Amino acid sequence: MKWIIKNVKAIFWKILIYSRWMLTPFYKRGTGLGERVPDFGLLDFRGRKVTLSSAFPGKAVVLWLTNLCSSCEERIPLLQKVYEKDRDRIEIIAISTLGDDREIPEMMLKNHKIDFPLLFDPDDWIGRVLKFEHPPGACPLYNLLILDHSGRITLKHHLSAISDDKFLEALRKLGVVD
């Protein structure tokens, strides 16, 4: 029974995300392809400040803007695998949309042995600066951004809706994975 409920919830969220994407006017979809993502300084769960600019120009960046829902949780192994294999060429940064909530992100770090940075966003940098509107505790429509070596967006997608092949191809185009 739990399996059925989990799968129904996952399907529901995928349908909701896709329908929101289709129904959202283009001008309300936040920072666009080809635009440079502004720098930020957010704290990780160890209290260290992480800045976007520290990755450039040496690495490309994957930004994952997440509420750590079950659909995206299923995709963590893909991100972790890419990070472990190619961390010298790519930086993966997860930003929690759960405000000050520490319990869920700390559980994810522990359960999935995530070693890429997972940051707090208590002042909603994602909504205010990137213009990716989202309800409190929810992730934005586009929660996966791939940035080139200069910080420009080359791909906007939702982590739970992108195939492994499309994700890896976008990274290959930047020359950061084999």
What is the spatial distance between Cα 17 and Cα 163, in angstroms, rounded to a whole number?
Answer: 15
> Does the pLDDT at position 55 exceed 70?
yes
Q: Are 95 and 63 in contact (CB under 8 A)?
A: yes
Question: Hey, how many other C-beta atoms are within 10 angstroms of the C-beta on 116?
Answer: 20
Calculated CA dihedral for residues 65, 159, 103, 97, nearest 10 degrees: 20
> Does the pLDDT at position 68 exceed 60?
yes
pLDDT digits (tens, 9 = 90+) for 136-173: 888 888 899 999 998 999 999 999 999 999 999 999 99
Backbone angles phi, psi at 154, to 5 degrees: -110, -15
Q: Which domains does the chain have, with CATH numbers?
A: 2-173 (3.40.30.10)
Alpha helices in the chain (DSSP H): 2-23, 70-73, 76-86, 103-112, 125-128, 164-173
